[in-house]
Amino acid sequence: MNTVIKSTDEKMGKSVSHLETEFSEIRAGRANPAVLDKIRVDYYGSPTPVNQVAAVSVTEARTLTIQPWDSSLLRAIEKAIQTSDIGINPQNDGKVIRMIFPPLTEDRRKDIVKEIAKMGEDAKVAVRSSRREAMEKLKAMKKSGDITEDDQKHGEKKIQDITDKHIKNIDSLTEKKQKQIMEI
């Protein structure tokens, strides 16, 4: 029974971690190196993340500077950014690439806030799905005689407590990110 509870907690924790990763990749008008995490550059025949072939730094609040360690990669990095879905045109000066993030419009902010709410809701659905699976496992264990009815009730209560904790965490992460977007 404890393994069911522990694995459920881990599964729910992964859902929350995934949500945090998704939130970090949201372009919010501020320069954030995480927007480059999904971009790959062809580096000697293998797709390599930008942060492994260049120094990525935030030089100003809305400017991201990418300085490749091998200057022959400038064009490849620039092209990879242009073909990505970031929506920012990189500026190549021959030594570094600069990405200037435009300030967000009010409408775009509201769209992002809705997107964040949907991501939060999706994470909650994943957590609840994990709870349902755990409850079914406990019922099956009770049916097969591995645990008593009291153990099942105790396990269900623990799983519900874990679920509530993760849902509360998702709500606070979502609210925090929405506030951050509206304050920009």
Average pLDDT over residues 157-170: 95
Q: How far apart (Å, rounded) are the C-alpha atoms in residues 58 and 16?
A: 27
Asked if residues 50 and 66 have their Cβ atoms less than 8 Å apart, the reply is yes
Do 125 and 169 lie in a common domain? yes
Give me the amino acid identity at 117: A
Mean pLDDT calculated for residue range 33-53? 86
Q: What is the CATH number of the domain that holds 53?
A: 3.30.1360.40
Q: For the chain, how are helix, strand and coil distributed in percent, rounded to 5?
A: 65, 15, 20
Residue 128: other Cβ atoms inside 10 A = 15
Please state the pTM of the whole predicted model: 0.71
- The conformation of residue 39, written as its DSSP 8-state character, comes to -
Bridge partner residues of 12 (DSSP): none
Q: Are residues 16 and 47 in the same domain?
A: no
Tally the domains of the chain.
2
- Give residue-wise pLDDT tens across range 14-33: 999 999 988 877 766 677 78
**pLDDT tens digit sequence for 88-129:** 889 999 889 999 888 878 888 888 899 999 999 999 999 999
